[in-house]
Amino acid sequence: MKIKKIRISAKHALSIVTIIMMIIILITLPNRKQVTFMEQGLGYVVVPAQQFLGNIQNWMNEKLFFIFHTAQIQEDNKKMLEEIDQLRYENTILKQYQKDNERLRVLLELDQKYAQYPKVGAQVIGKDPGNWYDVFLINKGSNHGLKVDMVVLAGSGLVGRIIEVGANYSKVLSIIDDTSSVSAQVLRTDEVGNVRGDKTLMNEGLCRVQYVNIEAQMIPGDELVTSHLGDIYPPGILIGTIQEVKTESHGLTKYALLEPVVDFKHLEEVLVIDQVWKEKKPNLKEFTQ
């Protein structure tokens, strides 16, 4: 019987020898403190190959992890985006609450400042075209007891007066409108003048104070309040602060520029004094009887 010769290629032979040598090295390594020259040479070949194969394995693991976990990652990202949107919404609501609370705090302080007058709160629901609230609508009317010539407050003082009343709305004329006129006096000196709206000055957020006595001691920084001489506005309501005092061209009287205490570019809520002052104002007959 003929025995067949097994032929092994050089490539396979090298692989077999390499494996055998690695097994020998692993078996004898614990009993030796030094490695042979051949083992060192084999290390130069095997170690880089192992590192290369390890890198490939790590790369494949990362890709396989990404492939098998992509759906989960997308779901997690979706949930995270939804949570971010919810937090943004809650933050917006919180800021709005803070803003509303601040406005209510200002109204409460204003109500307490003029506690001697009964008041009704109202919201601004419309205005004439333009940047300024010179004429605007509020959401309270005759059904709520409001009447023409009732006085309107906001911020720290005087806004104006009601000029028209419907069942569920009222139209307000503010002091910056050029048809408005308010009898006023300087809080420091009791000197009087008349606060009027002015179209030109309105664009600067200012009013004009006219008919000021030529000898008046009015100076910038003085506060003006409503005077006791008017029929519409009760006395003592803060109007604004003097910015500049000048002499009229004819030289007989002075005039001044006044900055209102109310921000007439931003009005959302107001207080209406729930009485018509000229109906409540004491008249001369009461003092002569």
Each residue's pLDDT expressed in tens, for the chain with a length of 289 residues: 555 555 655 555 656 666 666 666 555 555 555 555 555 555 555 566 567 766 777 777 776 666 666 777 778 888 888 888 888 888 888 888 787 788 778 888 888 899 999 999 999 999 988 889 999 999 999 999 999 999 999 989 999 999 999 999 999 999 999 999 999 999 999 999 999 999 889 889 899 999 999 999 999 999 999 999 888 999 999 999 999 999 999 989 999 999 999 999 999 999 999 999 887 766 644 444 4
Task: Single out the residue of 125, 147, 175, 181 nearest to residue 272, CA to CA.
Answer: 147
Whole-angstrom CA distances from 124 to 43, 80, 133, 139, 265 are: 87, 40, 10, 7, 12
pLDDT in the model for residue 91: 85
Q: C-alpha 75: how far from its chain's center?
A: 33
For the record, the structure tokens of 252 come out as: 């007989």
pLDDT in the model for residue 58: 76
> How many other β-carbons are positioned within 10 Å of the β-carbon of residue 84?
10
Q: What is the mean pLDDT of the chain?
A: 83
DSSP 3-state of 21? helix
pLDDT in the model for residue 134: 93
Pairwise CA distance, residues 156 & 239, whole Å = 8
pLDDT in the model for residue 287: 40
pLDDT in tens, 46-84: 566 567 766 777 777 776 666 666 777 778 888 888 888
DSSP conformational letter for 185? E
pLDDT in the model for residue 285: 46
Task: Single out the residue of 233, 282, 237, 239 nearest to residue 258, CA to CA.
Answer: 239
pLDDT in the model for residue 274: 92
pLDDT in the model for residue 55: 76
φ/ψ of 288, rounded to 5, equals -100, -10
Burial (CB count <10 Å: 0-12, 13-18, 19+), residue 42: middle
Each as own residue / partner, the long-range contacts of residues 106-115 (CB below 8 Å, 24 or more positions apart, any chain) are 106/155, 107/154, 107/269, 107/271, 110/153, 110/154, 110/155, 110/156, 110/157, 110/271, 111/271, 113/156, 114/153, 114/236, 114/237, 114/273
pLDDT in the model for residue 65: 67
pLDDT in the model for residue 101: 80
Pairwise CA distance, residues 260 & 176, whole Å = 8
pLDDT in the model for residue 103: 78
pLDDT in the model for residue 151: 97
Contact 225, 165 (CB under 8 A): no
Pairwise CA distance, residues 193 & 107, whole Å = 28
